[in-house]
Structure 1
Amino acid sequence: MNEQQELYDVTIIGGGPAGLYTAFYSGMREMKTKIIEAQDQLGGRMLLYPEKIVWDVGGVPPMRAEKLLEHIIQQGMTFEPTLVMGEQIVGMDRQEDGTFVLTAASGQLHHTRSVIMACGYGIRKLTKLEIEGADRYEVSNLYYTVQNLETFRGQRVLISGGGDSAVDWANELVKVAASVTVVHRRDTFGGLERNVTMMKESSADVRTLHAVSALHSADGESIGQVTIKHVETEEEIKLDVDAVIVNHGMKTDFGPIRDWGFDMGEWKANVSSKMETNIPGIFGAGDFVGHESKVGLIAGTFTDAIIALNSAKVYLEPEATPYAYVSSHNDRFKEKNKQLEVHS
């Protein structure tokens, strides 16, 4: 039997924080586990903001997202789940025995007894700046993500956008840039209240009810000035810049997943308090799901993952306990604890 024909207890679609923590918890419950990730890297949306400082994960000191992601990946691999990268799942068929066959765009088949959807908002594409010719500057000083703060040291930076990432970038960049201007077409920001307040109290020049309307270049290779326009009065202002960062969110596409029969709206699938979708045997976690107690933080994603995995376990083994033993009492950690003690 080849790998694609091998039957798994649970297959997790998505290799972001939700999928990785689900895999860790699945190992605690001794389930044969596979993760299938459409991208070539694990990490999901966290890959978009590696420099962001994450404060709100319980028991973890504030650290850069890239470092936190390293820990999440390491934890997710604790029990060595099978990992399939660069494989987009496009089809799902239930067999007569109740198991599922998942079909990838490549034609590969994956057999599983249960499925946990941890695919976030589907395939992600950054929303580009809708100005003709803007793409020519992507090789010079037009950015859609911040990979390294040092890139902007001593520069005049303009940020277009008003979501979490735009606010977080502004708060980080004021520490290294010569100046930071934030341009947002609305008068309110979508970031966490404390972070928005911090940005407004910083040295950042915050221009609400404005939008970028034109890019100007003296050499045709990099942006030297930006025109911003007031969305109501249409008054225009020209600003000198060294770098432009655009955070207009993402366009997402669930693709054929929408045709599987899920009860879902534009962004999320509706699940029960046990993370059950309306399709028996398929559960959800993370950004893919919506429920009345949903917490839109990484910390909330971990809770979704635990509940989804426990529900999958009981679905497969109705006599199983409803949750795993805590790590200090879990037999699967006895040998691992010995290894840690040797190296401590």
Structure 2
Amino acid sequence: MSDQLELYDVTIIGGGPAGMYTAFYSGMRDLKTKLIEAKDELGGRMLIYPEKMIWDVGGITPTLCGQLIKQLEQQARTFDPTIVLGQQITRQERQEDGTYILTSSTGELHWTRTVILAIGYGILQMAKLEIEGADRYEVTNLHYTVQELEPFRGKHVLISGGGDSAVDWANELEGVAASVTIVHRREQFGGHEKNIARMKASSVEVRVPYAVSQLHSNNGETIDRVTISHVESGETEQFAVDAVIVNHGLKSDFGPLREWGLDMGDWCANVSERLETNLPGIFAAGDFVDYSSKVRLIAGTFTDAVLALNSAKLYMDPDAPKAAYVSSHNDRFKEKNKALGVTDEH
């Protein structure tokens, strides 16, 4: 079977920031690279928040998430890796020579020497508002993600949730909407401290510990009012609203991956400090992994990508350099620098 397939050095499963940067760095190490993404576009979890402002990537000024995705994809394509979209990898089978045959849910086969799992939290779905009939408003003014800020301009917005996303959207919309109310069932918010402090110091109305208990509509198509209930006393209040945003987190599904024999917890794969899984030739990076010094930032994901790829390179060639030369001394960039009008002369 494998003799009918093209053999790759590295196959990256997952097209979020970890997968895209791994593809770029794999090119720096002159490896034949394939990236496979289950969705029809690259970006991973970042696709949920294209209007969110990203502040914490080194050397990049505040950038919209959607723009950062474009830049990461452009960088990922630097060395022309093969990119396959719309295929979820479900099975792996290690061959006698140590290579792997990967099978997608649509039956396509992929042959590779090593695998790097950059699948984040698997197939993600937004946690829905658990109120009967809520789904009827999803086509009008009940939102589970915010693609653009402008549609909320001048409107009265209620946000349900208490994590990073809920806090971030409260801050982003505070200067756009006529009013913003955030409802959270616990006293404490789970977002970054600085963002929580900013929210509490702004005009955002914070209602804790409350939960959305009823949605009301005059025409049966749009939400006009929302009832919130105190989680301890049961006391209720009503708010007139133009839009409701629900950020109750994400539900993840790793599907058949759990049958691969990986050492996994509920959310992550346990890996070594070199990003090795317990399966030979299979490495991992990004939100999918857990190890003692793990940093759960996009910036940390880039380091994961480098470590995982370097481990894959050494797995194939133990005598190879432990890391790629930096771009200013890497021969793979010489022609690309010339194309940009840059020479080695100083």
Quickly say closer, same or farther: Cα 1:3–1:186, change in 2 above 3 A: farther
**Pairs within 5 Å for 1:166-185:** 166-185=166-185
In the other structure, the counterpart of 1:229 is 229
Residue aligned with 1:336, SS: helix
What amino acid does structure 2 have at the position aligned with 1:57? V
Q: Distance in 2 between matches of 1:171 and 1:198?
A: 7
In the other structure, the counterpart of 2:281 is 281
* Per-residue Cα deviation, 1:177-211 (whole angstroms, up to 9, x for no partner): 00000001111111111011101111000112110
Q: Distance in 1 between matches of 2:279 and 2:22?
A: 19
* Per-residue Cα deviation, 1:245-280 (whole angstroms, up to 9, x for no partner): 000111110001001011110000000000000011
Per-residue deviation, 1:68: 1.1
Q: Distance in 2 between matches of 1:3 and 1:94?
A: 15
Q: Distance in 2 between matches of 1:81 and 1:126?
A: 31
In the other structure, the counterpart of 1:110 is 110
Quickly say closer, same or farther: Cα 1:136–1:178, change in 2 above 3 A: same
* Per-residue Cα deviation, 1:222-246 (whole angstroms, up to 9, x for no partner): 0000000011111000000000000
Q: Distance in 2 between matches of 1:26 and 1:187?
A: 45
Per-residue deviation, 1:4: 7.4
Q: Distance in 1 between matches of 2:289 and 2:308?
A: 11
RMSD: 1.2
Per-residue deviation, 1:3: 11
In the other structure, the counterpart of 2:38 is 38
Q: Distance in 2 between matches of 1:3 and 1:249?
A: 44
> Is the 8 Å Cα contact of residues 182 and 207 (structure 2) preserved in structure 1?
yes
In the other structure, the counterpart of 2:302 is 302
> Is the 8 Å Cα contact of residues 4 and 108 (structure 1) preserved in structure 2?
no
- Over 4 Å off, 4+ runs: 1-4
Q: Distance in 2 between matches of 1:284 and 1:196?
A: 32
Q: Distance in 1 between matches of 2:123 and 2:36?
A: 13
> Is the 8 Å Cα contact of residues 4 and 109 (structure 1) preserved in structure 2?
no
Residue aligned with 1:308, SS: helix
Q: Distance in 1 between matches of 2:172 and 2:20?
A: 28
In the other structure, the counterpart of 1:290 is 290
**Pairs within 5 Å for 1:156-175:** 156-175=156-175
Structure 1 unmatched ranges of 5 or more: none
Q: Distance in 2 between matches of 1:327 and 1:238?
A: 58
* Per-residue Cα deviation, 1:50-76 (whole angstroms, up to 9, x for no partner): 111110001100111111111111101
Per-residue deviation, 1:40: 0.7
Q: Distance in 2 between matches of 1:329 and 1:169?
A: 42
Structure 2 unmatched ranges of 5 or more: none
Per-residue deviation, 1:2: 10
Per-residue deviation, 1:31: 0.4
Q: Distance in 1 between matches of 2:108 and 2:2?
A: 11
What amino acid does structure 2 have at the position aligned with 1:60? I
> Is the 8 Å Cα contact of residues 115 and 281 (structure 1) preserved in structure 2?
yes
Residue aligned with 1:124, SS: strand
In the other structure, the counterpart of 2:70 is 70
